[in-house]
Structure 1
């Protein structure tokens, strides 16, 4: 495994050579990357990656300290070096007042003692006015223990403020839940969800209706064919009797469903009577062969077959009855949601 080409070479490089590229990664991510990330990007071992990460953390800490000092220096008001509240030197003594009648007396001369000059002491910072900010110097480098203590202190401060991992996770979940609730309460989204639910319910109701009509198709063919021979013209045409009734019934239900979707419900008695007559005719033709046929089990088996051939058309009748009713309710709900949004 070879290291990526940095500074024009593919050989393993020291930490100093990897620092510029690592600084670019810090600028890209906005934080110091993890050790595994440095190992993956530079293809280096764990010790070198840890050392590189420590160097980056030290530089980050120095930048934070330097930025704090700069901000503190910018916020302090500037002080005029020559604006003193009091004079620098001592106050001059007033001149003695000598009356004219007093004779002049010569002053007594005292020997002058030469002052002892102390050797200058080297100062770390130049002496200036108390309000003058001290010049900024390079921040001290942090060793491994200091960096570890800094990270531990930051983790302790976050823990004392309640910023634990679980708190951060639940905070993110709460923010996500607020966004989802706001979107789900949007009228357009609610209308679309109702439309999809109406389509699913309609598909299930149509499946029940078509299965019931397919079941009745066999007995209706037996009723229409009578004693005709198999595969004769009468026997073949008898298979078209049930589809003829079913196609008209299905067409009426489809038309009512489409009109209901646009707010034009059809509840005329004529349409209802036609639907009921088609279903009743299909049910009667489905039961007649069962009543005329003899069963080995006697009248009990015959009664069970009659009940079965009545329940299946009853299922078709129930599906045809509730399809348009439920579609009308869905249409009213969607219209109320959209009309409320338009009114706002």
Structure 2
């Protein structure tokens, strides 16, 4: 009886060989002893561990310091300063606006006129006592002459305030009252007030034996002098306010004839080039010029007007 030969063993494929090697590597790795941790390595004293931590921290800090992103962020102080700068710039631009300048001038003029009239009223009230002493002429207190003497200065002051108030109001409207009759009326009332205040304290008006002092005379004529100064200065101040140019005419001229400036001239030449190339129509609008040239609307209007008045590019 003959022996039966066993079946030959098939050769493994490359995939099976690779899979076997991978399983063998995993088995060897699992059976190998674990490497000691750095903190548990032999000879790792407390000083070594502290130094190793400092070195690791230094490496991390060096990596983070190389990033400039935090330096690009605005701090609260920078944002506050930038906000203040933008606000100051807007306030400055607003202060240059003709309407704002006109409003500021009107408010200042109203304040000055009010202060002048209040000061004039107080100055005339200051001289009331001196006028009363002159008008009473030694009358007994509370007698009819003594009482009516207090009314002399008020009715003169009211008449003077009527003239001054009318001139002040018309001056604020740009129509100053320079009538010589009104000027003579003002000086008449002021001269009477000054004379009646000063006479009882002059060397000729003092009673016999009363010494003359300059301080007493100046004290009693102070009110009339202030009234004279205000009445003289107020029309001049109001005339100056009425002739103020707040820049509205200059702005209008800049809009209409802005081609005379250097910036507008360059824009005009550029607009002509774009018209010649067909990128702009023969008579472009200000809005189209603003978008194409990238300029302000005022400059765009100036260029538009210059092109319309130019016989080579527009119609005159």
The two structures have a TM-score, normalised by structure 2, of 0.55
**Native 8 Å contact 1:158 1:164 kept in 2:** no
SS of the equivalent of 1:118 reads: helix
Which structure 2 residues correspond to residues 21-170 of structure 1 after superposition, within 5 A?
116=13, 118=15, 156-161=67-72, 163-170=74-81
2:184 corresponds, among 263, 273, 282, to 273
Partner of 1:217: 128
Give 1:297 shift.
6.5
Partner of 1:293: 206
More helix by share: 2
**Native 8 Å contact 2:101 2:246 kept in 1:** no
After superposition, the C-alpha distances for 1:38-64 in whole angstroms (9 at most, x for unaligned) are xxxxxxxxxxxxxxxxxxxxxxxxxxx
Which structure 2 residues correspond to residues 169-248 of structure 1 after superposition, within 5 A?
169-248=80-159
After superposition, the C-alpha distances for 1:291-321 in whole angstroms (9 at most, x for unaligned) are 323487723x2x3322332333111100111
Structure 2 residue 144 is matched with structure 1 residue 253: no
Give me the whole-angstrom Cα distance separating, in 2, the residues matched to 1:161 and 1:327: 55
**Native 8 Å contact 2:127 2:221 kept in 1:** no
Structure 1: where are the runs of 5+ without partners? 1-112, 122-148
Structure 2 residue 161 is matched with structure 1 residue 264: no
Greater displacement, 232-241 / 303-312: 303-312
**Native 8 Å contact 1:245 1:278 kept in 2:** yes
**Native 8 Å contact 2:131 2:197 kept in 1:** yes
After superposition, the C-alpha distances for 1:169-217 in whole angstroms (9 at most, x for unaligned) are 3322222222222222222222222222222222322232222211111
After superposition, the C-alpha distances for 1:248-296 in whole angstroms (9 at most, x for unaligned) are 1111111111111111011222221111111011101111222323487
**Native 8 Å contact 2:136 2:146 kept in 1:** yes
What is the root-mean-square deviation of aligned Cα atoms in Å?
3.2
Q: Compared with structure 1, are the counterparts of its residues 327 and 177 closer, same or farther at alpha carbon in structure 2 (3 Å cutoff)?
A: same
Aligned length: 201
Give 1:160 shift.
3.9
Structure 2: where are the runs of 5+ without partners? 1-9, 20-59, 256-316
Give 1:115 shift.
8.5
Give me the whole-angstrom Cα distance separating, in 1, the residues matched to 2:209 and 2:66: 87
Give 1:155 shift.
11
Give me the whole-angstrom Cα distance separating, in 2, the residues matched to 1:311 and 1:230: 25
Q: Compared with structure 1, are the counterparts of its residues 158 and 329 closer, same or farther at alpha carbon in structure 2 (3 Å cutoff)?
A: farther
Give me the whole-angstrom Cα distance separating, in 2, the residues matched to 1:169 and 1:295: 76
**Native 8 Å contact 2:128 2:154 kept in 1:** yes
